[in-house]
Structure 1
Amino acid sequence: MFVNEEAKIVSSKPSISWVSTDLLEDRIDSFTFKDYIIENDKLFSSMNNVVELKDLLVKNHRGKGLTSNPNGKIPNLKVRNITNNGINLEDVDLIDENEFEKNKTAHVKKGDVLLAVTGVGSLGKVDLYWSEKKATVDGHVNILRTNEKCDSGYLRSFLHSKYGQIFIQKYTIGSTGQTELYSSDIAKFKIYLPNMNIQQYIGNKVRKAEELREEAKQLMSQVYELINIHFSLDSFENEIKDNYKYDFVSSNYLEDRLDAEYYDPNLIKLFTHLSKMGFKFVNLGNVSRMVFTGENVESTWIAPDKKVPLIYIGNLEGYFVIPSDSEFIDENNVRNWEKSFAEFGDILFASRGSLDCLINRISVYFDEDKKGVITSNIIAVRLDQNLIRTGYVISVLKSIIGTYQIIKHSWGVAQKGLTANDVSKIVIPLLQINEQLEIEEKLIQSFKKLQEAKKLINEAKQDVEDLIEGKFDESKISEGV
């Protein structure tokens, strides 16, 4: 039992507390006074150098819902773009210059801390905007702009820490249907504020992580450019800009399926274009050691103290698989070892979802240190690296060559699907092995930079927790980041 002058924790399970009326604010609910929230409040009340967040901010409000324009150039960041590991610009809505100028309160600038404030599973995610480029945020993202007393990278790390997350949980309202965190409540957060040298040391880790992410992005741009150059895809896309809706199909192309998507005129024109360039082709099934579907994971297998991460469709982010940081299983529960674990070089496909999901959720597993268990809505392709390189194949799949074929082989109406057999039929044009290796090396270097960035983000978070717990080693500051 924990007791102080204002609160008494009677029981943790179930959570029962007695609280003084002095602690009651403008809301009364059981969640606000859970045992760990009361203990967190007590901790911050007992510490020196604790201030309210409102005293560290010059800007604290949400963005706005803006009108998207597919021809726009300016990102409008949403909750899905806030990841805790850097802002994701792979799937971003765009607005035009006119919409940007009309909505100045939604503008973000370099150094702003962006906090997701709506939605179960997303609320509480936080990132640092570290770019000179124009951008806005929508009404489900809160902009936090610090004054000279607080390093913005430090604030981002504090909010990411377990202590910052407890304040976020304390002030979140709503049920599982819709949760919200308001700017007026964010202002009440208690922040431990060390001297500026320590703040900057921690903040520099976040900024270095953002620089590494930008370097990784540049490498990915080079990969994209190499694929376009090798296959003259830009010139081909100009040829088909009229977007043909129908065409005559030679009997040579007919297979055991008859529908419009399967014989998309643009796909046929694409492979005619590649054939005229002299490329040879292989089916994925013919250059793979295995093509298999993942494990039907049972909820009872999941435990936070286990070591094998789960890989869901949502973990297929961009080019690279990002395994779950929170859901792990006991490997002894896995029924089929050979067809459950993703290993270095495996390409993973979403097998259920919208068409956009099937097109965008194709990623490569580049983690050499550990394996992850793939779930049943994922198809894995394990290539024979002596025949074709993984980094090259994923780059082709991410181009229009892969996109058109996913459209071709998917089936269903609102909910689309792919089978292992469908994936095996996907065709890859062949480059020389040295050209494949050049592309793959850029991908691997990009992945390593992203991993180093993630490591720095986690170190910064841990530094904040060590500070609050009295375990931070100040001698590290002289070493720099």
Structure 2
Amino acid sequence: MLFAKGGMYRHCAVVPKAVIEANISQDVIGAEPSERLDSYYAIAFLQSKYGRPQLVRWEQGNAQPHLSNDGVKGVLFPLPHSTDAQRYIGDKIRQAERLRELTRILDEKANAALAELLGETDESWVAGAGTTGVFASGGFRTRVGAGRIRGRLDPSGYHPELTAISKRATKSRNFVTLLEMADLVTDKRAKTSSESALGAYISVLHVLQAGYVDMVAASRYQPESDGRLCNPGDILLSGINPVANRVGVCPIRSGQVACSPEFSILRARSGVDPHYLAFALRSQVCLRQLLHLAQGTSSSRRRLDEAELPALWVPISPEQQRIGEWMSTRQRCTAASYTLTIAARLLVEGLIDGHVAEADLITAQKALEAGDRSVDRGILQCLREGDALGAEPVIPDVDSLYELLDESEEIAV
């Protein structure tokens, strides 16, 4: 088990089995649990409302609070009478870990398919486009003919790298403009106010690594600004700070979903897979174009003018449907890994509060070992975040979760 010494979030984790050997920095505490304690169950407890206060309790220092080795030793763990109950809860974290491994494999397959299309990695393709006119200091010189002048006069919009990518893409049959793959529908979507009753509001910060859209956080978010309605399958491209590379696909969600006005909303044209297009837009080929097309003096507040997007060059693959399926599965795996972690935390809290019977967890674990998921299904379907009337289940589609777990199990074998 690993504990971060500093930081307000009090991170803790288990070293995955896939890691054969690794070093830890001086800012991390390593701990080996006793045989009586399932390390994954312990992590679920430490994320609970009973575990986190203990980590806070043992912190030292005011300006920069930190956790010490003695503090970790002082953490108390509640132990169920049976190891089967621990294993049942711990397995939820193990399953989440397995799904994260599947997302890594799917990322590798998608990137390999793009590299096969380009004949090299996307980073190498961009480098091969040339950087004539770019100085080692980062500055550049460029010459722009009158015919290339458009509605901007800032130098970044005519960066030599942008010109080089455009020239190389024009000569390749593997590239088309974004306008040929998607329609810009931002202005066609109805506006919403900050007080609108919504099923979810997607802010820029809800689009995480590799395009995952955190709908759990989006459903809890109370927006302070107006937004626009978006539909499942819409591609959301953040126009602020493009270096963050926030491009995702709006998932299916009950109730109306709106997004921040910082997003450009794209709708994939017939025959174009939205998950593939979002993946392609996150590639280095597109990211480098977006970086130069943005305007503004502050690197963190640079913005894209939506009018620049139609001419963006995007790689188009004959395998786009397959890549799109990989990316769709990837996002579902990421969502399921988050919900499994939440489920483990709720099970620990329910066990301590008396809302969950240890005997039920033991029965579920033994049934799972015998290949019977019926008891586990019943437990998962009953889990709710909070006691509010009408609270949605943490895992709304257990069958879909089982499908992903079976797929991850096959890859693990």
TM over 0.5: yes
> Which structure ranks higher in relative contact order (CA pairs < 8 Å, sequence separation ≥ 6)?
2
* Partner of residue 316, structure 1: 207
Q: Quick check: 1:118 aligned with 2:2?
A: no
* Partner of residue 239, structure 1: 128
C-alpha contact (below 8 Å) 2:58/2:72 kept by paired residues? yes
What is the RMSD of the two structures over their aligned residues, measured on CA atoms?
A: 3.5
For the residue of structure 2 that corresponds to 1:462, the secondary structure is: helix
Q: Quick check: 1:436 aligned with 2:320?
A: yes
Whole-angstrom CA distance in 1 between matches of 2:60 and 2:237: 36
Q: Quick check: 1:263 aligned with 2:152?
A: no
Q: Quick check: 1:454 aligned with 2:338?
A: yes
Amino acid paired to 1:314: L
Structure 2 gap segments, 5+ residues each:
135-140, 370-413
What are the within-5 Å matches in structure 2 for residues 19-58 of structure 1? none
Amino acid paired to 2:234: D
C-alpha contact (below 8 Å) 1:202/1:463 kept by paired residues? yes
Amino acid paired to 1:460: A
Compute the displacement of 1:214 (Å): 0.8
Amino acid paired to 1:316: V
* Partner of residue 191, structure 1: 77
Q: TM-score, length-normalised on structure 2?
A: 0.72
C-alpha contact (below 8 Å) 2:162/2:289 kept by paired residues? yes
Q: Residues 335, 190 of structure 1: CA spacing in aligned structure 2 closer, same or farther, 3 A cutoff?
A: closer
Whole-angstrom CA distance in 1 between matches of 2:119 and 2:321: 19
Higher helix share: 2
Q: Aligned residues: percent identity? A: 19
Compute the displacement of 1:275 (Å): 1.8
Q: TM-score, length-normalised on structure 1?
A: 0.63
Higher strand share: 1
Q: Residues 142, 317 of structure 1: CA spacing in aligned structure 2 closer, same or farther, 3 A cutoff?
A: farther
Compute the displacement of 1:232 (Å): 3.2
What are the within-5 Å matches in structure 2 for residues 187-336 of structure 1? 187-194=73-80, 195-234=82-121, 236-237=125-126, 239=128, 244-245=133-134, 246=141, 248-279=143-174, 281-284=176-179, 287-288=182-183, 290-291=185-186, 308-318=199-209, 319-323=211-215, 325=217, 328=220
Compute the displacement of 1:314 (Å): 2.6
Whole-angstrom CA distance in 2 between matches of 1:135 and 1:241: 38
For the residue of structure 2 that corresponds to 1:191, the secondary structure is: coil
Q: Residues 196, 222 of structure 1: CA spacing in aligned structure 2 closer, same or farther, 3 A cutoff?
A: same
C-alpha contact (below 8 Å) 2:156/2:295 kept by paired residues? no
* Partner of residue 374, structure 1: 259
Amino acid paired to 1:398: R
Compute the displacement of 1:144 (Å): 3.3
* Partner of residue 398, structure 1: 282
Q: Residues 334, 265 of structure 1: CA spacing in aligned structure 2 closer, same or farther, 3 A cutoff?
A: closer
**Deviation larger for 419-428 or 361-370:** 419-428
Q: Residues 254, 241 of structure 1: CA spacing in aligned structure 2 closer, same or farther, 3 A cutoff?
A: closer
C-alpha contact (below 8 Å) 1:347/1:363 kept by paired residues? yes
Q: Residues 420, 133 of structure 1: CA spacing in aligned structure 2 closer, same or farther, 3 A cutoff?
A: farther
Q: Residues 341, 384 of structure 1: CA spacing in aligned structure 2 closer, same or farther, 3 A cutoff?
A: same
> Aligned residue pairs: how many?
351
Q: Quick check: 1:166 aligned with 2:50?
A: no
Structure 1 gap segments, 5+ residues each:
1-112
Q: Quick check: 1:156 aligned with 2:51?
A: no
Whole-angstrom CA distance in 2 between matches of 1:251 and 1:233: 34
